[in-house]
Amino acid sequence: MLGSIKTFLKDRLAHTASPTERGQVLRVATAAILLEVSRADFETDEAELETIAAALRRAFDLDEAAVREVIAEAREQDDSELSLYPFLKIVNDACTPEEKYRVVCDLWRVAYADGRLDKYEEYQIRRIADLLYVPHSEFIRAKLSIQGEG
């Protein structure tokens, strides 16, 4: 569908990309980042996948078919990438600080979806939040906010 993220960034995210293409790239990048946290503890379970789907529906107002498509594309792109950095760059370039904070909240939701927080999940969220330039105080606020939901 989109080809590799690097090719897409290089060839189409310039000024010639349509808003629809840019939106799809952002959705896929966000899904890939969320999936990364679900894999951090070496076990991706159904509750984590449902949490990712709910986050994508909420953030991008997607229906179920669109969510499945985005997650499938994110898995495909993530498997072809050796690094999270292309995905993080997309989110950094496209999102406001408040939108990045909401991504970090969703990362915490994914980590807590299976009923426990693994140290590798927490490490991965901290790393992603730093790379999204989310201040540490906001990282902690997001964690406490999501803990309060449970």
CATH number of the domain encompassing residue 77: 1.10.3680.10
The secondary structure of residue 66, as a DSSP letter, is H
Token pair, residue 82, equals: 């050796």
pTM above 0.75, yes or no: yes
Structural domain total, the chain = 1
Q: How confident is the model at residue 78 (pLDDT cuts 50, 70, 90)?
A: low
Q: Where are the beta strands (DSSP E) in the chain?
A: none
pLDDT tens digits, 22-61: 889 999 999 999 999 999 988 888 999 999 999 999 999 9
Q: 55: domain range?
A: 5-149
